[in-house]
Amino acid sequence: MLTVHHLNDSRSQRILWLCEELGIPYRTVDYTRDAVTRLAPPGLKDVHPLGKSPVIEDGSLRVTESGAITDYIIRTYGKGRMMPKPGTADHEKYLEWLHFAEGSAMLPFMLALYTGRLGEAAAPLLPRIEEQVMSHLAFIDSELGDKPFLMGDELTGADIMMSFVAEIAAVQGKLSSLPRLLAYARRLQARPAWIAVADRTAPYSFRLPK
């Protein structure tokens, strides 16, 4: 059975959601952030030297990094679901989204998080960081267009990966000028599998108000 090492209020939430969407058996090992520092507990370093989550174990195989985990689970357990057919142009675009979510879209959010702790010392950097946050969100909104999901009519791993970005942006109030992206975030969170995970792991800080 697949094991997911899950840290509350983290990117591992979307891995649990992916498992629910595919209807595959899995178990979780739960970790809780420090209430003051919001850092992961030391116990995660027994699983990953950097103390990071998500991490999955499938028999003797251990996989880290959200994009790699999403790709592995869908290839191994998806039975052709949740990704375009390999060898097609759509599949290459799908792979771009898997990497874009962490490689590009999350970076300005993380810069904002860490520089925000510097107070006035961060002031010169904040306009540039905010510009990067919004330009990345505008790009996602433009690529999404009027489609229900990033790759078209069907949910794929691209949406699993992008969900965390969309949720953070929505909770931070950055999508008021990007209504299609806000509707997309709500559409993802309305899925029964997403709700089932959110209810089980509640409270989840990035759950949007109804």
Q: Please state the domain extents for the chain.
A: 2-82+194-200, 89-191
User: Do 158 and 148 meet the contact criterion of CB atoms below 8 Å apart?
Assistant: no
What's the confidence (pLDDT) of residue 199?
Answer: 97
Q: Mean pLDDT across the stretch 61-68?
A: 97
Distances in whole angstroms, Cα of residue 72 to Cα of each of 8, 86, 117, 157: 22, 14, 35, 10
- With 90 as the cut, is the pLDDT of residue 12 above it? yes
pLDDT at 159: 98
> Per-residue pLDDT for 161 more than 90?
yes
Residue 53 is predicted with a pLDDT of 95
The pLDDT of residue 210: 80
Q: How would you write 54-114 as a 3-class SS string?
A: CEEEECCEEEECHHHHHHHHHHHHCCCCCCCCCCCHHHHHHHHHHHHHHHHHHHHHHHHHH
Q: Which CATH superfamily is domain 2-82+194-200 in?
A: Glutaredoxin (3.40.30.10)
Output phi, psi for 30, to 5 deg: -95, 140
* CATH no., domain 89-191: 1.20.1050.10
**Burial of 12 by CB count in 10 Å (0-12 exposed, 13-18 middle, 19+ buried)?**
buried
Structure confidence at residue 119 (pLDDT): 87
Q: Is the dihedral of CA 145, 151, 156, 157 positive or negative?
A: negative
**Mean pLDDT (whole number) for 172-194:** 98
pLDDT at position 118: 84
pLDDT of residue 81: 97
Over residues 107-132, the mean pLDDT reads 91
The percentage of the chain sitting over the pLDDT mark of 90, rounded to a whole number, equals 93
| Beta bridge partners of residue 31, listed in sequence order | 7
The token pair at 9 is 């209020």
- Quick count: other Cβ atoms within 10 Å of Cβ 111? 18
What is the reported pLDDT for 3? 98
User: Could you give the 3-state DSSP secondary structure of residue 144?
Assistant: helix
**pLDDT band at residue 188 under the 50/70/90 scheme:** very high
Helix (H) / strand (E) element for 27: namely strand 26-31
**pLDDT class for 42, splitting at 50, 70, 90?**
very high
CB distance 5 to 56 below 8 Å: yes
Q: What is the pLDDT of residue 122?
A: 84
